[in-house]
Chains A and B, each alone.
Chain A
Amino acid sequence: MQNTTSTPDLLSRRLTWLPLLAIGFIVAAIVLAFAWVAGWLTPDRLTPARFTNAIETSNGQVHRGFRRAHAKGVCVAGYFEGNGQGVELSSARLFSTVRTPFIGRMSIGGGSPYGLDNKARVRSMALQLNSDDGQQWRMAMNSFPFFAVSSVEAFYEQTAANAPDPATGKPDPAKVAAFAAAHPEFARFAEWAKNTPWSTSWANTAYNSVNTFRFSNPAGEQHHVRWSMQPQTAFVAMSPEEREAADDNFLTEDLMARLAHGPLRWDMVVTIAAPGDSITDPSKIWPEDRRKVTVGSVVIESSSPQTSGACRDINYDPLILPKGVDGSEDPLLAARSAVYSVSFNRRQYDIATGKADTAIGQASSQETSP
């Protein structure tokens, strides 16, 4: 340790600082790379957490313990019955002639668990199908046949534009108009929302995959597909007057009344893409004449409140898929999977930290605004 000459001492001291600097530099570089990948250095980069924040903002309030979208709904249970026709398309077990039980959820679009059923243009069905081969298929489907916008970013802009203006408590019409002008494809959705007749029940509504998936059969053949759950319950239109008069919770009441009389059924109709059909843009519909195969039926037998039902703690992530089914190149699927996970984590965290009495049915009255 004790050097008698000063020159080697100086030299070795200089040589000590250089490597220390190098070590500091290497560690700092790795930390920076990590922070960059995490998105911490780029506050403007759209991440799943920031998308979820935007959804919460547009909801006007965070409803603790509830889904940040499609917050109002009811748990259902039943089974899928394959008819064997899907076997040529996909090796998913449930397409065989077997019964596959599911835990499902019927919901309406919107971020409030107190949303008014008679104002909800979008209705939904979500299923978690548990095959007897141990595989799982989760689906979250909507009543619109195509998506409102053509990209993840556009949907983010739509969400942001719909955020309530603090001054009025309503979306700023200027922002909504600017959004619509920037996304011409939205006009088609607005037209659908305005002119398509409303049906009277969850039971007589069709639910669509909207996004494109890829089926593969045991021979390795692949098809891009979309599917639709087509109600066997006859369509009955609901007039604007009937809707005005309907109860805020008429969908749940109607569902329970129908289930008291017997199960409700939908046919699963798979549409197969032809070359040139858009895979990546869910706002583009495929021509009517595409090949369609009815592969089985969804049968709902019972319902239970979402506060205590088995569907409450399920994340209906559309990318949890069995063998024989994969996501397509549609970028919305990856974004949905990422954002649903954040929404799920937050609502489970709300429950764990005791902030979600209403969501788990342990509060006597509606939650109050924070």
Chain B
Amino acid sequence: MNDTANVPENHAPLNHVESCPDPRHFNFTARVLHWSMALMILAMLFVGIGMVSSLSLRPALISLHQPLGIAILLLVIVRLINRLRHRPPPLPADLPAVQVFAAKASHWLLYALMFAMPLIGWCMLSVGGYPVTMFNGFALPAIAPHNATVYAVFRSAHTWLALLLFATVLMHLAAALFHAWVRRDDVFASMARGYVTNAKTLGEEKEHENSANE
């Protein structure tokens, strides 16, 4: 699929790209937020499932889970603003339409879940009559009134959406590695660091883009 033999011959389009406004990679803020939040979310999923299945670790894990979850809520706001203000690098032009759709849909699903999960956590504690403890001596205010039925709904949503988030994160990870190792295009690199490593695909992409006038 990926013929790397042509690489050295594609210097010209690369030079051309440098004068073009299309970004080749996510900006620094986006990359830092992406990787730190990736770690935090994976940690949250494991801490969450661990604390509800352990008879000994719950106190320690819950005191990590709640502030870390709210930190994710704050970071995702910053991240979304940054994302809306800075155009992300385009996907490779030769990416099949289904994969383009899957990529875009899953990215927005990830944003939605990064927002929803901590908000549901906060709501769930509020309607469950629990203090929303952040750290010793500090708790967030309740954002909804104490109610058994609403608690049950939010509590279930927290579990099922966590599992959906986990599945989406795994698909996202698999797709990113697919880009890096199988397609060997620049998608992974565009988030991994600032430089495009594979000049060939970039060249192709630029040509396609120019012709498609995207």
Residue numbers of A with Cβ under 8 A of B are: 1, 3, 8, 12, 16, 19-20, 22-24, 26-27, 30-31, 33-34, 37-39, 46-49, 51, 134-136, 152, 312-315, 319-320, 322-323, 327, 331, 333-335, 337-339, 341-342, 344-345, 348-349, 351-353
Contacts and interface: CB of A to CB of B under 8 A. Distances in A.
A12 B1 contact: yes
B59 A320 contact: no
A136 to B, nearest CB: 5
A20 B55 contact: no
B137 A30 contact: no
A51 B147 CA distance: 26
Given A34-B45, A320-B130, A348-B151, A48 B55 contact: yes
A341 B136 CA distance: 20
Interface stretch (B21-29, B76-84, B100-108, B172-180): B172-180
Nearest to A19: B181
Q: Is the interface of A mostly helix, strand, loop or mixed?
A: helix
Nearest to A39: B53
B194 interface: no
Given A12-B1, A20-B182, A348 B58 contact: no
B49 interface: yes
B148 A348 contact: yes
A37 to B, nearest CB: 5
B131 A27 contact: no
11 contacts: A8-B5, A20-B182, A39-B53, A134-B139, A312-B148, A313-B147, A335-B55, A338-B55, A338-B58, A345-B155, A351-B148
Given A34-B49, A136-B131, A323-B136, A23 B178 contact: yes
Contact of B2 (A12, A39, A46, A314): A12
Q: Is the interface of B mostly helix, strand, loop or mixed?
A: helix
A313 B49 CA distance: 24
A181 to B, nearest CB: 24
A349 B152 contact: yes
Nearest to A319: B59
Contact of A19 (B129, B151, B182): B182
Given A23-B177, A47-B55, A135 B182 contact: no
A3 B5 CA distance: 12
B153 interface: yes
B170 A348 contact: no
B56 interface: yes
A314 B128 CA distance: 8
B59 A334 contact: yes
Contact of A349 (B50, B51, B131, B155): B155
A27 B174 contact: yes
Contacts of B148: 312-313, 348, 351-352
Given A19-B181, A23-B174, A334-B59, A37 B146 contact: no
Interface residues of B, number: 42
Interface string B48-75: 0111111111110000000000000000
Given A26-B173, A334-B57, A341-B52, 20 more contacts: A1-B1, A16-B1, A16-B182, A23-B182, A31-B170, A33-B46, A37-B53, A47-B54, A48-B53, A48-B55, A49-B53, A135-B139, A315-B128, A319-B59, A323-B136, A323-B137, A331-B55, A334-B56, A348-B152, A352-B153
Nearest to A342: B52
Nearest to B4: A12
A352 B182 CA distance: 48
Nearest to B131: A136
A348 B3 contact: no
B58 A337 contact: yes
Contacts of B137: 135, 322-323
B170 A30 contact: yes
Interface string B149-176: 1011101100000000010001001100
A24 B58 CA distance: 31
Interface string B3-43: 10100000000000000000000000000000000000000
B110 to A, nearest CB: 16
Interface centre among A19, A331, A338, A341 (most CB of B within 10 A): A338
Nearest to B170: A27
- For the complex of A and B, 7 pairs with smallest distance between CB atoms: A352-B152, A19-B181, A323-B137, A352-B149, A39-B53, A335-B55, A338-B58
A231 B172 CA distance: 61
A32 B153 CA distance: 28
Contacts of A337: 58-59
Contacts of A23: 174, 177-178, 181-182
A353 B152 contact: yes
Nearest to A103: B129
Nearest to B181: A19
Contacts of A323: 136-137
Interface centre among A26, A49, A334 (most CB of B within 10 A): A334
A245 B131 CA distance: 44
A337 B2 CA distance: 55
Given A27-B170, A345-B155, A8 B55 contact: no
A30 B41 CA distance: 13
